[in-house]
Amino acid sequence: MAETIQADDVVDPVAADEAEPRAHQPELRAPGESWKRVGFLTCLTAGALVFLFPFYYMIVGALQTEPNPDVSGAFPDPSNLTLDNFADINTALNLPRALLNSGIFTAGVILGTLVIGLLAGYALAQLEFRGRGVVFSAMLIVLIVPFQLLMIPLYVMIVRWYGLADTHLGMILPFAVNATAVFVFRQFFMQIPKDVFDAARIDGASELQILMRVAIPISKPALLTAVLVTFIGPWNEFLWPFLITKETDMQPLAVALANYISNVAARAANPFGAILAGATVLAIPAVVLFLAFQRKFVQAHLGSSVK
């Protein structure tokens, strides 16, 4: 498995950043071809609409005063629109608190990834030291370690041994360094000529100074990519924070909303309206970030997957 992800096989995420995936040239078409083309585009559009429909339906449902699950309910009815569902989920969940917890969880993971991951990525790319190969192999192996193997022992360690249940630290620890981001950093620093750093070494700069004054200032594109790929992990994560948080005050939004769905919703007046309003709030940050930086997202994932 590890051999399928080879360092040299990987598109450099930054250099590839500006380049769209190479498109195959359209061939010269016979007259009948244009009908095939129409059919092809129709299928692709229909597929895209099927994929997007649940997002549209989430927003429509979140805005309905009376839940309307009929076919007509899929079209917004101006007389049946409200923002009350957002107010309902806000009181039911303590939305600001849940968002704050999600934010701290996510920020902690991003911070850990930027500090520890950047150091490791830079060392893997630019420094020759004993054990470099081991670190690199370990980084690739963890990409495929199934979480179910780690879940119970991590629970024992973090909740039982270290007493970190219901803490942000306990949520953050297992995700503290995103392996894909380390990979992004390594790929970024690989494509910077060694001379850039050697010049600073000749000037007598320490490695830490080189990192702070030379490496980090030029790595802004890699930092942004790393933040983007890291963000969706903790923001969307459900299982781990669900396992270790019992206090509602400590639950990130994904966990709070899931608990609302499984426990409270049955007693609410318009449960689906409130659920969908909560789902919309949970979905928006990741969707907006993705749409705003789509190219970076795509290129980072293209870059870190096999060719």
Binding of residue 173 to other proteins (CB under 8 A): yes
Q: Which residues 153-172 are close enough to bind other proteins by CB under 8 A?
A: 153-157, 160, 163
Binding of residue 107 to other proteins (CB under 8 A): no
- Size of the residue set binding other proteins (CB under 8 A): 113
Q: Which two tokens stand for residue 140?
A: 């690739």
Shortest reach from residue 98's CB to other proteins, in Å: 12
Query: Taking the alpha carbons of 264, 267, 272, 277 in that order, is the dihedral positive or negative?
Result: negative
Residue 233, number of CB atoms within 10 A of its CB: 17
Residue 266, number of CB atoms within 10 A of its CB: 8
Among 8, 18, 26, 220, binds other proteins (CB under 8 A): 26
Rg (CA), the chain: 24
Alpha carbon distances (Å) from 127 to 35, 118, 186, 215, 248 = 57, 13, 11, 12, 46
Q: Which residues 28-67 are close enough to bind other proteins by CB under 8 A?
A: 40-41, 44-45, 47-49, 51-52, 54-55, 57-58, 61, 67
Smaller CB separation from other proteins, 7 or 41: 41
Binding of residue 110 to other proteins (CB under 8 A): no
Shortest reach from residue 125's CB to other proteins, in Å: 10
Among 238, 246, 249, 269, binds other proteins (CB under 8 A): 238
Smaller CB separation from other proteins, 97 or 201: 201
Q: Helix, strand or coil for residue 64?
A: strand
Angle at CA of residue 230, ends 208 and 212, nearest 5°: 15
Amino acid in position 34: S
CB within 8 A of 147, min separation 6: which ones?
239
Binding of residue 18 to other proteins (CB under 8 A): no
238/198 Cα distance (integer angstroms): 45
Query: Taking the alpha carbons of 218, 139, 288, 106 in that order, is the dihedral positive or negative?
Result: negative
Shortest reach from residue 211's CB to other proteins, in Å: 8
Amino acid in position 260: Y
Binding of residue 131 to other proteins (CB under 8 A): yes
Shortest reach from residue 130's CB to other proteins, in Å: 5
Q: Which residues 191-210 are close enough to bind other proteins by CB under 8 A?
A: 194-195, 198, 201-202, 206-208
DSSP state of 81: B
Smaller CB separation from other proteins, 18 or 195: 195
Binding of residue 278 to other proteins (CB under 8 A): yes
Query: Taking the alpha carbons of 158, 252, 114, 283 in that order, is the dihedral positive or negative?
Result: positive
Smaller CB separation from other proteins, 84 or 201: 201
Site string for other proteins, 78-97 (x = CB under 8 A): --------------------
